[in-house]
């Protein structure tokens, strides 16, 4: 099947390089997964009376309200909480983008796919999952 031993050796080397590349990609993907799960996004309202933290999935895990929020209407405070939650998700998306780019490289098609997946999932626009409830 092989015309000579050098062609066989070259094919074996290419297979070894390919396997090594796949192993490296898998290790980087595992490391990215671990680091991404530990990320949180945090934001404060412009008047600094509300602070929101979201976990790596974009879910609210901490909400801090300054006593000054009592001086505002509930509707105003609710709007600020929603806006600050969107800002926290934007912060999380920024961190996820940086971590993904650092782990996989800017030119890797997987990088773009993962970032787009995070962007769709976090939907930092006005149509967030919380706003639809």
pLDDT tens for residues 86-124? Answer: 999 999 999 999 999 999 889 989 899 999 999 999 986
Question: 105: Cβ–Cβ under 8 A, 6 or more apart, which residues?
Answer: 111
Find out whether 85 and 53 touch, Cβ atoms under 8 Å.
Answer: no
51 phi, psi to nearest 5 deg? -130, 130
Which residue bears the tokens 């600020």?
A: 80
Tens digits of residue pLDDT in 57-79: 999 999 999 999 999 999 999 99
**Residue 55 CB burial class (10 angstroms; 0-12, 13-18, ≥19):** middle
Q: The pTM is what?
A: 0.77
pLDDT (0 to 100) of residue 64: 98
Burial of 118 (0-12, 13-18, 19+ CB in 10 A): buried
Pair 59, 53: CB distance under 8 Å: no
Q: What does the alpha-carbon distance between residue 87 and residue 101 come to, in Å, rounded to a whole number?
A: 21
Q: How far apart are CA 4 and CA 8, in angstroms?
A: 7
């Amino acid at each position: 099947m092989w015309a000579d031993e050098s062609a066989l050796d070259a094919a074996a080397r290419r297979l070894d390089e390919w396997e090594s590349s796949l192993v490296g990609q898998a290790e980087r993907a595992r490391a990215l997964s671990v680091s991404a799960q530990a990320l949180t996004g945090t934001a404060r309202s412009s008047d600094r009376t509300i602070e929101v933290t979201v976990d790596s999935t974009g879910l609210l895990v901490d909400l801090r309200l300054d006593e000054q929020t009592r001086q505002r209407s509930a509707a105003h405070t609710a709007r600020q909480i929603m806006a600050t939650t969107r800002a926290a998700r934007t912060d999380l998306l920024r961190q996820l983008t940086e971590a993904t780019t650092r782990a996989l490289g800017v030119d890797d098609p997987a990088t773009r796919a993962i970032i787009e997946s995070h962007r769709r999932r976090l939907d930092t626009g006005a149509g967030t999952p919380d706003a639809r409830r």
